[in-house]
Amino acid sequence: MAPSDPRARLVWFAIATLVILGPALILVATLQLLVVFGDLGEVTLVEFLELYLLDLVLFVGLSYGIYRLVVWVVEHRLPAAGETGDGRDATDADEAGNRR
């Protein structure tokens, strides 16, 4: 399922990078809070990895939820968008039809 278009590969690379780095950035923010409250010395390597994996799962789940919400909105709330097929949106097509 590897895309052959270089732009599509770049998009997949960007998505994969965000999936990896997004939770890491959340983890950095969590560690900064631990530094502020003075609890960083109590965090072991295993707890650090658990925090990263938990952040990764939450980030991917939230991203997928947002993706599904956008797909649903596009399919159900914007049904007229893209139905004209000539590059104009539905309101342009309606206005052109009313002028005839």
Cα–Cα distance, 12 to 6 (Å, whole number): 10
Look at the chain and count its residues.
100
Q: Which residues, other chains included, contact 22 with Cβ-Cβ below 8 Å and sequence gap of 6+?
A: 59, 63
7 three-class SS: helix
- The pTM (predicted TM-score) of the whole model is 0.51
Strands (E), 1-100: none
Cα–Cα distance, 60 to 57 (Å, whole number): 5
Residue boundaries of the structural domains of the chain: 6-99
pLDDT for the residue 56: 83
The single-letter code of the amino acid at 1 is M
pLDDT for the residue 32: 84
CB-CB contact of 31 with 40 (8 Å): yes
For the purposes of burial, counting CB atoms within 10 Å of the CB of 23, is it exposed (0-12), middle (13-18) or buried (19 or more)?
Answer: buried
Instruction: Give pLDDT < 70 ranges for the chain.
Output: 1-3, 79-100
Cα–Cα distance, 43 to 36 (Å, whole number): 14
pLDDT for the residue 85: 57
